Structure 1
Amino acid sequence: MSRGDDGGGDSSAAAYVFRVTVRLGPDEPGVWAEPDTFETTVYRTADSPGEPGWLYFRDNLWRGDCGDEAHMRAVAEDALGVAVDSVDFRELRTTQGYLDDLRAAVADDLAEFNASTADQALSKYLGSSIHVTDEV
């Protein structure tokens, strides 16, 4: 799934994909970078439905965007170890198996999402930013 994984071909894998603008600000006098900002793609493994952290989409996204960009910038800065100017959510990249498991977990507690169907709940948080693929 990612460079840190063993590539075992998990059929129920997913990752949140973000476009992040980072800023380099060297601490050393007389050292600078050009350009001092650049965009990169950042991936976060999606936790398995029902496991701790699986509600990441509910807690951080809204209608396919970051719900609180300042918070997401701080999270990205902590994870990357560099200053972050902006974070944009791009998609939940998922296998069909993971999406099926996610829908089932959401359907088990629709009241938690204030929705009448799992698809309505997922749309509320992820918008139309779900990309189903064979390999994440």
Structure 2
Amino acid sequence: MHAEYVFRVRFRLAPEGGVSVAPAEFETVLRVPAVEPGDPDDEWLFFRDNCWRGEVADERHLRDRAEELLGVPVVAVTFSELATDEAYLDALKAAIAEDVDQFGDDTASRVLTTYLGSSIRVVDDEA
């Protein structure tokens, strides 16, 4: 069982000591491992807390988080997808269904559409 949230991150190099770089901004792909659905610390609810309709819900918050992870000033963060295998997606739907009312929808599939839009990509189990 495996899944990860995929983001495009635009970052800036800020060299010191009078040196300069060109270009100073770059784009990379950041992959954040998804926590097992139903985790008691609620970290599995990353999608609920950070995404809305397939977009980043609070870009400033995720920029700060990306800066911590990457160690460089981050200019922009955009959500690309939840890349998941079938087993993780099934477990995620089951965990959502256990308390679907907390999400304000009536099915796990609708919850995932509300938060992730169409940005779910099922990949082979070996990915």
Structure (1/2) with the larger helix percentage: 2
Tell me the SS of whatever aligns to 2:44.
coil
84, 89, 92: which one aligns with 2:79: 89
Matches within 5 A, 1:30-109: 30-51=18-39, 52=41, 53-109=43-99
1:127 aligns with 2:117: yes
Output one character per residue of 1:81-128: Cα deviation in whole Å (capped at 9) or x when no partner: 100000000000000000000000000001111110000001100000
Once the 2 structures are TM-superposed, how far is the Cα of residue 31 of structure 1 from its aligned partner?
1.4
Structure 1 Cα separation of the partners of residues 20 and 87 of structure 2: 46
Once superposed, what is the RMSD of the aligned Cα atoms? 0.8
- Find the aligned partners of 2:93 and 2:47 in 1 and give their Cα distance: 13
Within 2, Cα distance between the matches of 1:21 and 1:96?
30
List runs of 5+ in structure 2 lacking aligned partners.
none
Q: Structure 1 residue 30: deviation in Å? A: 1.8
Displacement of 1:32: 1.6
Runs (4+) of structure 1 exceeding 3 A deviation are none
Looking at structure 2, the residues matched to 79 and 112 of structure 1 have their Cα atoms a distance apart, in angstroms, of 30
1:18 CA displacement: 0.2
Deviation at 1:29, TM superposition (A): 2.0
What corresponds to 1:22 in structure 2? 11
Q: Give the whole-Å Cα distance in 1 for the aligned partners of 2:72 and 2:17.
A: 18
Give TM-score, length-normalised by structure 1: 0.89
